[in-house]
């Protein structure tokens, strides 16, 4: 899951905005558009919820030239970045999906960049313009850059586009045409003409405030942003040990048809139908009654009463006395994201499930006279609180409706219970590595700063879990660093040093060198008492591999090789030295192998030759152990007083001697 929303550059920041009950509506930022010539006091075109830096894009990261990047709709750029971030959040290395049946569905409705570009005449058109401004390419570009070969399409059903995209992604997974899906929504407001169109249509709030279901409802406030969800069949997600933010139990899409009031007048009957259909498909159990619905909730005098009536008829009528269905709208926080509105509401709902808290729906004082909340079995979520029945499985609905009559509703529940995580292992190892990489030095330092803030925050994951994720679920780029520390505070301090470009204890920088990797296994003379004990205590992979080797050696030696190493008393006897080195070398290889260090070549010196032959698959462990013990005994039996000479020569030069 990823998002870039007004006042929030990611899910954690978005939740903090929601939890604190803040809104992100403000004046139009400088440089977007000037004051319209026909502007008057109370003109809704001068307020909205906007993103910072919509002109910024890390083109180099995706291998896109500056010229092509300049021709790309910023909505393409934003979705591309968010797709990468969502996969990282899911613990998926994007490169691992190349060639897979992974689908991409993106909801949007804006063409602002196209219109803005064409205002400058044909001189602004370049060879990259055709793909740069085509809305269909928003989804296709993600598929292209990540090498995804499932369905890829951009969806436009007006304001319901992104929730319809979620529906289509789920259907693609259920049909088996996709094994994984990215569902997204994006909306950027770049032209004052769009705001003027909505203002003259009567949809904008004159005072720049969204009053969902409130008596003061007078229109919506424009907003912008984007979000991406990674969707996967639940059975596969659980089998793969994925973190499940929530489960989409069902979804439905329909259309109002020929409404008597006109094309843009909502139909209560159609909205009721789509909600009922989604919940029938969800087949929630007796203890899974929906406790909350994220409304479309645009705050319009016409639309709000229609939505309330439809929702009350579909879900509110059977509520127990004193247990109304809670409702709210994220549009009161971040405005109406139009093509991305549905996915913004769904992400809010997933975060509410994750944190088991319901954020307040802002700007509500008294209900719209046309909305009898009590009679409908509804209640606006006025304050931040726990879910009404936290002891029950959490279940919610999310609605999104398009002005042309295309309606979507999604039913989402919490994921199945998983075993409780182990207690944090702050001192699980004597040296814990956190690895980072990026395309450039600047990006690497910025990443270190973000990770430091994340790791230092309350509720941050176990440092060992973080180390595992950083090492196994991230793409390795050219600029690399590892921060080594014994506990969280040391790791965070190392990250801060890296971010600030200053020397830090435990901070190592490097870059990959051309060539392959070779492992050389040592011979006799490198042994020491207690060798490998720290690794044995710190890393189960090392311990298991050592125990497997010891299981073959000990019966042959008629003693414990681990005790020989630990005591050191007889370690320098050749009969013990060579088996001890063999055991440690094989265990160390297995540890490095578990970290992804796979050599192209192995070689050994003396007893190290047998270790190399074993890890290369030439000798089985039982056979290698027998050879090691036999060789060690034979060398131990040699007369004392001998010597060894090393000759640097070729075989042809040595044989005549």
- Where residue 76 sits, what CATH number does that domain have? 3.40.47.10
pLDDT value at residue 655:
87
HSE-up (13 A, CA, CB side) for residue 348: 33
Domain contains 199: yes
Same domain, 505 and 522: no
* Residue 647 counted as domain residue: no
Decide which of 477, 510, 543 is a domain's last residue: 510
Strand, helix or coil at 28? Answer: coil
Domain match, 150 and 217 both: yes
Is 650 within the bounds of a domain? no
Residue 378 shares a structural domain with residue 459: no
Which residues does residue 385 pair with via DSSP β-bridges, in sequence order? 358
CB-count exposure of residue 460 (10 Å: 0-12, 13-18, 19+): middle
Domain shared by 407 and 436, yes or no: no
Q: What is the pLDDT of residue 525?
A: 87
Same domain, 491 and 583: no
* 452 and 546 share one domain: no
Per DSSP, 50 falls in state -
Whether 98 is covered by a domain: the verdict is yes
Record the pTM: 0.84
One domain, residues 530 and 505? no
**Domain CATH number, residue 557:** 3.40.366.10
Co-location of 490 and 389 in the same domain: no
Question: Residue 543: inside a domain, yes or no?
Answer: yes
Residue 230, number of CB atoms within 10 A of its CB: 23
DSSP, residue by residue, 509-569: EE---SS--EEEE--TT---TTTTHHHHHH-HHHHHHHHHHHHHHHHHHTS-HHHHHHH-S
Same domain for 473 and 534: no
Q: What CATH number does residue 491 fall under?
A: 3.30.70.3290
Task: Please report the pLDDT score of residue 30 as a whole number.
Answer: 87
Q: Residue 334 is part of which domain span?
A: 2-35+42-413
Q: Which of 475, 510, 545 corresponds to the end of one domain?
A: 510
Q: Is residue 645 part of a domain?
A: no
Distance, in Å, from the CA atom of 453 to the CA atom of 446, rounded to the nearest integer, reads: 11
With a cut of 70, list the residues of the chain below it in pLDDT. 34-43, 419-430
490 and 452 in a common domain: yes
Count of C-beta atoms within a 10 Å radius of residue 167: 27
Indicate whether 604 and 506 sit together in one domain.
no
Is there a domain that residue 383 lies in? yes
- How many distinct structural domains can be found in the chain? 3
Tell me whether residue 367 is in a domain: yes
- According to the model, what pLDDT value does residue 421 have? 56
601 and 472 co-located in one domain: no
């Amino acid at each position: 899951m990823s998002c870039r929303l007004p006042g929030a550059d990611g899910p954690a920041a978005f939740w903090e905005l929601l939890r604190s009950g803040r809104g992100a509506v403000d004046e139009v930022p400088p440089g977007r558009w000037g004051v319209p010539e026909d502007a008057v006091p109370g003109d809704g075109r001068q307020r909205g919820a906007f993103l910072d830096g919509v002109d910024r894009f890390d083109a180099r990261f995706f291998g896109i030239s500056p010229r092509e990047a300049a021709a790309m709709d910023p909505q393409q750029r934003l979705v591309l970045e968010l797709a990468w971030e969502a996969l990282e959040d899911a613990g998926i290395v994007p490169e691992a999906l190349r060639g897979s049946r992974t689908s991409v569905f993106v909801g949007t409705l804006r063409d602002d960049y196209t219109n803005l570009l064409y205002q400058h005449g044909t001189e602004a058109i370049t060879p990259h313009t055709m793909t740069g401004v085509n809305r269909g390419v928003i989804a296709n570009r993600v598929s292209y850059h990540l090498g995804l070969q499932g369905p890829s399409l951009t969806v436009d059903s007006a304001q319901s586009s992104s929730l319809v995209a979620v529906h289509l992604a789920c259907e693609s997974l259920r049909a088996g045409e996709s094994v994984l899906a990215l569902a997204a929504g994006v909306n950027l407001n770049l032209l004052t003409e769009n705001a003027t169109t909505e203002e003259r249509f009567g949809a904008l709030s004159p005072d720049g405030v969204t009053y969902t279901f409130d008596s003061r409802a007078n229109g919506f406030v424009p907003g912008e942003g984007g979000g991406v969800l990674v969707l996967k069949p639940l059975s596969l997600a659980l089998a793969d040990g994925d973190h499940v933010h929530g489960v989409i139990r069902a979804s439905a899409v329909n259309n109002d048809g020929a409404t008597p009031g006109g094309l843009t007048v909502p139909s209560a009957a159609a909205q009721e139908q789509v909600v009922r259909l989604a919940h029938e498909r969800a087949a929630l159990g007796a203890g899974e009654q929906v406790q909350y619905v994220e409304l479309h909730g645009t705050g319009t005098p016409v639309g709000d009463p229609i939505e309330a009536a439809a929702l009350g008829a579909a879900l509110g009528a059977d509520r127990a006395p004193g247990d109304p269905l809670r409702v709210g709208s994220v549009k009161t926080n971040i405005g109406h994201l139009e093509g991305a509105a549905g996915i913004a509401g769904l992400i809010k709902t997933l975060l509410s499930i994750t944190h088991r808290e319901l954020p307040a729906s802002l700007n509500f004082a008294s209900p719209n006279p046309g909305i009898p909340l009590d009679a409908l079995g509804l209640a606006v979520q006025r304050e931040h609180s726990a879910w009404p029945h936290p002891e029950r499985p959490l279940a919610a609905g999310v609605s999104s409706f398009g002005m042309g009559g295309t309606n979507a509703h999604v039913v989402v529940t919490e994921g199945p219970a998983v075993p409780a995580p182990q207690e944090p292992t702050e001192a699980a190892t004597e040296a814990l590595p956190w690895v980072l990489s990026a395309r450039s030095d600047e990006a690497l330092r910025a990443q270190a700063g973000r990770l430091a803030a994340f790791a230092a925050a309350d509720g941050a994951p176990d440092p060992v879990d973080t180390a595992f994720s950083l090492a196994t679920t991230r793409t390795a780029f050219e600029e690399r660093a590892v921060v080594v520390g014994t506990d969280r505070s040391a790791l965070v301090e190392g990250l801060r040093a890296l971010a600030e470009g200053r020397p830090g204890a435990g901070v190592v920088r490097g870059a990959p060198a051309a060539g392959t990797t070779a492992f050389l296994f040592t011979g006799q003379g490198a042994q020491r008492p207690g060798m490998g004990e720290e690794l044995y205590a710190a890393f189960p992979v090392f311990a298991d591999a050592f125990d497997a080797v010891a299981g073959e050696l000990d019966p042959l030696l008629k003693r414990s090789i681990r005790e020989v190493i630990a005591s050191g008393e007889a370690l320098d006897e050749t009969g013990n030295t060579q088996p001890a080195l063999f055991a440690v070398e094989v265990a160390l290889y297995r540890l490095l192998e578990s970290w992804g260090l796979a050599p192209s070549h192995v070689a050994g010196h003396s007893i190290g030759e047998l270790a190399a032959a074993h890890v290369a698959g030439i000798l089985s462990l039982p056979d290698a152990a027998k050879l090691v013990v036999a060789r060690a005994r034979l060398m131990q039996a040699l007369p004392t007083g001998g010597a060894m000479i090393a000759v640097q020569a070729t075989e042809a030069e040595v044989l005549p001697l």
